[in-house]
């Protein structure tokens, strides 16, 4: 075995990787302790020594990985990310470069590249997470890094908000939830004009929408309808903010899908005294057949325009109880809307029944199309049951690839709220085409391809039909 192979075996060993993660965590804690004048006075020498030792470990680690991989090291964006983060720390933090001492905390962000689940979260833009714990860990890491930076930059000008790490963590949690962030930002900006860069970069929003669109169609403007989730967001692993819970507490009616879709929804029901309706009530559930949630009800019943009419009936009933003086309006709107959905069902079955029998297999990332496939008489295969499942195993991906190749399925698909990276492996292995992106858990913005539930059904039907019949290539 050559020296390069021995080094590669070392850096790939689980023990080596766990040791690096441990050093990252210890270094992050030490840097956080440096924001406390009291701890620095008592243990400053130890904290600085830990920092220097951690930096030395990172330099050696990256050098070993670079040697083990050769030029391939530079082809991996995560390797470049690690190198840049550690490289900043090597610049002398004196004189004009003194601000770089504050940026040392960015080394804690190396946890994103060191922990695979965090990498998946970032790679999929918070939409392909394997579970709630990864989202919580990533958000906690970002808040912690932001708090250390804010304490270093603003403790002198706004000590009530950023005087120490504890105050900074609390302030940034408020900023993250949208509570009083403008007051905090303005006070700091009065003394540090460039501070707006920090606050604008820190703030982000997420959400879900199909049910809100259906409810607006039945309400007809009589009732104000607000969706907790926004267009483009992943609903399965959504984590409600305190401001979301406050909105629920002030609402007059709370609607959810049911069938286990919104695992986080119990918090809203607990905090709100408003009536609550589950819109999938009355739909015959189809079980999930693969993944961590195998055997559980498939929650994506709205993907069937037939089942969607049951949703409409439940919406009409809930709205009539909320505002009985408008029950006739709700009934008329519901009947008109159900006629549209029934028409879409006819178009869907006519269009998809044109697909040749041997090509009537729908292969997707998430098992979100069981109800639509049942309506249209399609066979269904998927990589995972719901988006909150863990990443599919190599055996699962290989099995799907083999099935696609054996059945000569012409095209495969993935959903808008997750990364298609794993499905692209199936494309390469099987020789099938990538048929396009389908919409399930979220509508698009108003100018996008699926601004309404009706548009979503039409768009997905046409995308599937074109890809499976070969029309998309013409």
Q: What pLDDT, on a 0 to 100 scale, did the predictor assign at position 428?
A: 94
Residue 283 has pLDDT above 60, yes or no: yes
Which of 86 and 109 is assigned the larger pLDDT?
86
Residues 459-472: pLDDT tens digits? 998 898 889 887 64
Q: What's the number of CA atoms in the CB half-sphere (13 Å) around residue 275?
A: 13
Which of 376 and 204 is assigned the larger pLDDT?
376
Q: Locate tokens 């090509």: which residue?
A: 359
Share of the chain above pLDDT 90, in %: 15
Residue 205 has pLDDT above 50, yes or no: no
Q: What is the rounded average pLDDT for all residues in the chain?
A: 77
Q: What pLDDT, on a 0 to 100 scale, did the predictor assign at position 14?
A: 81
Q: What pLDDT, on a 0 to 100 scale, did the predictor assign at position 176?
A: 61
Q: What pLDDT, on a 0 to 100 scale, did the predictor assign at position 258?
A: 79
Q: What pLDDT, on a 0 to 100 scale, did the predictor assign at position 411?
A: 94
Which of 214 and 308 is assigned the larger pLDDT?
308
Q: What pLDDT, on a 0 to 100 scale, did the predictor assign at position 132?
A: 45
| The token pair that represents 29 in the structure block | 């804690």
Residues 128-184: pLDDT tens digits? 344 445 556 666 777 788 788 888 888 888 888 888 888 888 777 766 655 555 567
Residues 318-365: pLDDT tens digits? 888 888 888 898 899 999 989 999 998 888 888 877 777 777 889 999
Mean pLDDT of 405-426: 90
Question: Among 266, 243, 242, which Cα is nearest to 254's?
Answer: 266
How much is the pTM? 0.53
| The token pair that represents 5 in the structure block | 């192979």
Angle, helices 327-352 vs 305-322, to 10°: value is: 170
């Amino acid at each position: 075995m050559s020296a390069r192979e021995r080094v590669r075996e070392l850096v790939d060993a689980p023990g080596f990787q766990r040791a690096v993660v441990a050093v990252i965590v210890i270094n992050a804690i030490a840097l956080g302790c440096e924001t406390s004048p009291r701890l620095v006075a008592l243990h400053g020498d130890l904290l600085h020594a830990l920092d220097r030792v951690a930096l030395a470990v990172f330099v050696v680690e990256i050098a070993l990985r670079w040697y083990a991989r050769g030029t391939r090291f530079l082809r991996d964006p995560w390797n470049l990310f690690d190198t840049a983060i550690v490289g900043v720390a090597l610049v002398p933090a004196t004189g004009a470069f003194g601000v770089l001492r504050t940026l040392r905390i960015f080394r804690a962000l190396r946890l994103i590249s060191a922990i695979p689940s965090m990498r998946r979260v970032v790679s999929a833009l918070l939409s392909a997470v394997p579970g709630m714990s990864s989202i919580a860990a990533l958000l906690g890491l970002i808040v912690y890094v932001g708090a250390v930076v804010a304490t270093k930059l603003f403790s002198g000008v706004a000590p009530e908000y950023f005087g120490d790490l504890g105050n900074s963590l609390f302030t940034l949690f408020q900023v993250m939830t949208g509570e009083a962030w403008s007051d905090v930002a303005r006070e700091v900006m009065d003394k540090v004009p460039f501070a707006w860069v920090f606050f604008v970069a820190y703030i982000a929003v997420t959400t879900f929408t199909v049910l809100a669109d259906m409810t607006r169609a039945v309400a007809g403007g009589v009732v104000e309808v607000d969706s907790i989730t926004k267009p483009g967001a992943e609903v399965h692993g959504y984590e409600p903010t305190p401001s979301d819970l406050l909105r629920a507490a002030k609402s007059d009616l709370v609607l959810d899908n049911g069938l286990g879709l919104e695992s986080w929804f119990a918090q809203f029901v607990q905090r709100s005294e408003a009536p609550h309706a589950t819109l999938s009530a009355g739909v015959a559930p189809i079980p999930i057949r693969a993944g961590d949630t195998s055997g559980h009800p498939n929650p994506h019943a709205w993907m069937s325009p037939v089942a969607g009419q049951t949703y409409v009936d439940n919406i009409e009933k809930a709205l009539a109880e909320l505002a009985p003086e408008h029950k006739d309006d709700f009934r008329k709107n519901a009947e008109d809307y159900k006629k549209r959905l029934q028409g879409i069902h006819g178009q869907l079955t006519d269009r998809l029944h044109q697909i040749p029998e041997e090509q009537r297999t729908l292969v997707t990332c998430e098992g979100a199309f069981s109800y639509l496939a049942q309506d249209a008489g399609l066979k269904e295969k998927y990589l995972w049951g719901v988006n909150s499942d863990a990443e599919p195993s190599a055996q699962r991906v290989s099995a799907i690839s083999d099935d696609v190749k054996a059945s000569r399925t012409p095209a495969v698909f993935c959903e808008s709220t997750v990364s298609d990276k794993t499905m692209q492996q199936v494309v390469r292995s099987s020789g099938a085409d990538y048929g396009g992106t389908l919409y399930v858990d979220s509508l698009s913005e108003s100018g996008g391809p699926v601004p309404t539930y009706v548009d979503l059904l039409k768009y997905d039907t046409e995308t599937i039909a074109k890809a499976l019949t070969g029309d998309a290539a013409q």
